[in-house]
Chain A
């Protein structure tokens, strides 16, 4: 049982480059989230989705885009990478928003 899988684990980008962070879950969870965690800091919500075709902004959405075409996948797109986007990115999923745990992927460490 894979749970939540994120790829890649590490990435170095140059300023202005773009990339997509992949996230897939095999637990048939409806809710999926993207968080970023700066060194020694907490988790800030970037975007979230309550089901296929539905996405919404979190606290820090600027510079990012998401899509949710299937229940399993929730990719995060960085269009023009900036040094301020250097962080560890975590994808998480849960069955519903209120009654079950959020399961996290292993994270993607991004350096710009």
Chain B
């Protein structure tokens, strides 16, 4: 079945440092979505990418969808303590209806 892996599993940065998480799917995706889950909370949608090679920005966050539509990345510039949480990618493979989540990357930011 479809597998979606993320690296790293965990990263601890100091406030102001950059952060990147990578998402890799075993199958080609029709789209990729990114979610953020604060500790004790539920996943919250951040963005969706659909086109091969697509790049989108949200303030300090940059999202990229790979050319082969099998990988994606999320880069945070100059992290803040409000960025703490777990970041998940999620995608649909081909015409599959089910939304499969990646393994997640937990980000810890300290002053």
Establish whether residues B42 and A106, one from each chain, have CB atoms under 8 Å apart when the complex forms.
yes
B105 CB to closest chain A CB (Å) equals: 10
B59 at the binding interface (Cβ < 8 Å)? no
- In the complex, chain A residues whose CB is within 8 Å of the CB of B43: 43, 90, 92, 102, 104
A9 CB to closest chain B CB (Å) equals: 11
Within 8 A of A (CB), among B3-35: 30-31, 33, 35
CA distance A44 to B59 in the complex (A): 30
- In the complex, chain B residues whose CB is within 8 Å of the CB of A56: 97-98
B52 at the binding interface (Cβ < 8 Å)? no
Mask of A71-112 contacts with B, CB within 8 angstroms, 1/0: 000000000000000000010101001111111111100000
Mask of B26-69 contacts with A, CB within 8 angstroms, 1/0: 00001101010000001111001010000000000000000000
CA distance A99 to B42 in the complex (A): 21
CA distance A102 to B30 in the complex (A): 15
Residue of B nearest to A30 (CB): B97
- In the complex, chain A residues whose CB is within 8 Å of the CB of B33: 101-102
**Additional A-B contacts beyond A42-B101, A98-B92, A102-B35 (14; CB < 8 A):** A33-B98, A33-B99, A42-B103, A44-B101, A90-B42, A94-B99, A98-B30, A98-B31, A101-B33, A102-B45, A103-B45, A104-B43, A104-B44, A106-B42
The residues of B with any CB-CB pair to A shorter than 8 Å are 1, 30-31, 33, 35, 42-45, 48, 50, 88, 90, 92, 96-104, 106
